[in-house]
Chain A
Amino acid sequence: MAETTTTAAQSGMKPGRRPGTKKAALYAGIALLILLVPIYFQAAPGLGFLVRIFVIVGIWVLLALGLNIVVGYAGLLDLGYIAFYAMGAYAGVLIGQATSGVLGGATYWVMLIPGALAGAITGIALGFPVLRLRGDYLAIVTLGFGEIVRIALNNDFLGLSNGATGLPRGSEVMVQPGMIDWLSSNVHFMTPFGGEFVFTSNVFWYFVVVLLCLIAIVVINRLDDSRLGRAWVAMRENEVAAAACGINITTQKLWAFSLGALSGGVAGVTFAYVQQFISPESFTFMESVFVVCIVVLGGMGSIPGVIVGALLIKGIPDLIQGLAVAGVFKVSGDVNSMITGYRFLVFGLLMVVMMAVRPQGIIPSARRARELRPEDERILEEEDQQMWDVEHRDPGPVDHP
């Protein structure tokens, strides 16, 4: 550890984080929790559906981590991010269905590659034409792009997507990873909490999604401290100055777009194989908005923030609905439909309150929090005032020193 710290200092980057014992304990606690959660809920009678919710939340964490690269690090507002998710999902299913005869139980794992590539290539394809755009203009173009992808899928583009009916077609089924069968018939035991634990497909997907998220987190964490990550911060804070430092703005933006999209593609394939079915309905503008909200609510550029954001925005509504359906709290049909109906109202209110009270997000990244510190703003304002005063002074005689 000491060695990595010195190299980090030598290369002039941020000093390496030395995880103290406290931090190690925290990580161990989180690991244990991640491991025990599915076992507990799977075994508890009537709560098995929670594992499923965690799988979905995990997929959204993956999505949000990807968008976080684009929005949080590179500072490019992308409102059509769900298009990459869709591309990954459709590529994974189309290619998967064509090759599953050969690949069998390995289909999902192999499909992660075309899924990721489909995302990344779409990211670059979108990235090129919009490189010159910034802020609101970029947001609008990406929004349009997301809609184009969805509409193309809906219209059975090139006869591939099977329109609104979705994939797989007719009587086709998607091949599940081979491990699921083996695990569910061989891994089962009585838990100390009571109830029998069976390693179901939900538990399997839970661990797959956790693994994918962990990989994404490690990669993004490395990026954050890298030359690329630094270039993104510089670009976000001042594009002209960044260019003057020799940063190739074009390449950096394309990297951000393609890496973010790659993560979206992987999430898409996983989503498709978890659901065993995809249709354009899962890739609407609203979903793009949800991902942006997760990133903004959690804290732009912050990995823990994004995870908390996904838990709140994707997890809680599903949880409430799931609990209601499972009959954990006795609610009438009216209340149930109220929960579904008022979800967006509460969600909207939550966003408004958040932006007013804590604009940097629930768990902001250290740098982002600094960007929003009021005392810095005061200094900058004073500066602006000074600049203004000087620029607007009487053009009297210039002093000769």
Chain B
Amino acid sequence: MPQTVLSVDAIHTYYGQIEALKGISVHVDQGEIVTLIGANGAGKSTTLKTISGLLAPKTGTITFLGEVISGMPVHKVTERGVVHVPEGRRIFPTMTVEENLEMGAYLRNKDPKGVKESMERVFDLFPRLEERRSQKGGTLSGGEQQMLATGRGMMADPKLLMLDEPSMGLAPVVVEMIFETIQKLNKEGITILLVEQNAAMALQVADRGYVLETGGIALEGTGRELLVNEQVRKTYLGEV
């Protein structure tokens, strides 16, 4: 029986008066890749933001490794090893690649050795970043910025890495590379919660997936089950 690291229990999150999440329950087990797929506005990113503390749920609880993390501020959640790589490649444009990565390890200032190792790991995974280590983040290409954002997330030594739309706006070749990396990271022991619009790719790499529709969960199952599901094929994989 695999250990559940994250369990999200019936959360309701509001943007002002608008109920964006209408009782979402999700769980992630140790070593899994779990993906949330769904259309624009289904609540995928809102779910991630609620888990990471950027938003607070109105009701419902989020538990990480037995500790309730719902309602905690972002930096406390990050401290516990839940690291959010927000959508839209939010890197620090005037910092160099190396400085960006160092910011990811902001909370590990007592562990310079570990930080150095993490940096080497990131460079192993993304040799491109090592080539550009002293280049400003803002001058990188879209794919490189996504690598940087992901690498920065890894620098925090995450127990659970939450990636929001890592493939958005990237060329197909780069998208494939990003997904390969996600699998590699997972093999290294990092549990991953992945939000994607590219449902086909996401379901191929994921152990399990949830389909979100207008703030609720419409379907759940293993990646394979969802890939062959009639409804998913029609709605999200664009097959008629």
Residues 80-99 of B contacting A (Cβ, < 8 Å): 83-86, 90-95, 98-99
Q: Mark B61-89, 1 if CB is under 8 A from A, else 0.
A: 00000000000011100110001111000
Residue of A nearest to B91 (CB): A241
Contact A245 B94 (CB under 8 A): no
Query: A391 vs B170: C-alpha distance in the bound complex, in angstroms?
Result: 11
Question: Given the complex, which residues of B lie within 8 Å of A400, measured CB to CB?
Answer: 200
Contact A231 B106 (CB under 8 A): yes
Query: A11 vs B110: C-alpha distance in the bound complex, in angstroms?
Result: 10
CB of A370 to closest CB in B, whole Å: 5
Contact A401 B201 (CB under 8 A): yes
Contact A248 B138 (CB under 8 A): no
Question: Given the complex, which residues of B lie within 8 Å of A243, measured CB to CB?
Answer: 54, 74-75, 78
Q: Mark A379-399, 1 if CB is under 8 A from B, else 0.
A: 110010011001100011111
Question: Given the complex, which residues of B lie within 8 Å of A237, measured CB to CB?
Answer: 92-95
Give chain B's interface residue range (CB within 8 Å of chain A): 35 or more
Q: How many residues of A contact B (CB 8 A)?
A: 40
Contact B169 A386 (CB under 8 A): yes
Query: A240 vs B170: C-alpha distance in the bound complex, in angstroms?
Result: 21
Residue of B nearest to A384 (CB): B169
Query: A11 vs B111: C-alpha distance in the bound complex, in angstroms?
Result: 10
A330 within 8 A of B: no
Contact check: which of B83, B141, B176, B238 meets A244 at CB < 8 Å? B83
Contact B79 A376 (CB under 8 A): no
Contact check: which of B74, B107, B139, B237 meets A379 at CB < 8 Å? B139
Question: Given the complex, which residues of A lie within 8 Å of B90, measured CB to CB?
Answer: 238, 240-241, 244
CB of A316 to closest CB in B, whole Å: 32
Query: A329 vs B156: C-alpha distance in the bound complex, in angstroms?
Result: 65
Contact A397 B73 (CB under 8 A): no
Query: A246 vs B170: C-alpha distance in the bound complex, in angstroms?
Result: 27
Contact check: which of A238, A387, A401 meets B172 at CB < 8 Å? A401
Question: Given the complex, which residues of A lie within 8 Å of B107, measured CB to CB?
Answer: 245-246
Question: Given the complex, which residues of B lie within 8 Å of A234, measured CB to CB?
Answer: 92, 95, 103, 106
Query: A12 vs B138: C-alpha distance in the bound complex, in angstroms?
Result: 20
Question: Given the complex, which residues of A lie within 8 Å of B109, measured CB to CB?
Answer: 227
Question: Given the complex, which residues of B lie within 8 Å of A44, measured CB to CB?
Answer: none
Question: Given the complex, which residues of A lie within 8 Å of B145, measured CB to CB?
Answer: 383
CB of B56 to closest CB in A, whole Å: 13
Query: A399 vs B175: C-alpha distance in the bound complex, in angstroms?
Result: 11
Contact B106 A245 (CB under 8 A): yes
Point out residues on B near A: beta carbons under 8 Å.
52, 54, 73-75, 78-79, 83-86, 90-95, 98-99, 102-104, 106-107, 109, 112, 115, 136, 138-139, 141-142, 145, 149, 152-153, 156, 168-170, 172, 176, 198-201, 237-239
A-B CB contact pairs (8 Å), 8 listed: A227-B109, A246-B106, A248-B73, A383-B142, A390-B169, A391-B168, A398-B237, A401-B201
Instruction: Give 12 A-B pairs besides A230-B106, A390-B170 with Cβ atoms closer than 8 angstroms.
Output: A227-B106, A234-B103, A237-B92, A237-B93, A241-B86, A246-B74, A375-B139, A383-B169, A391-B169, A398-B237, A399-B200, A401-B201
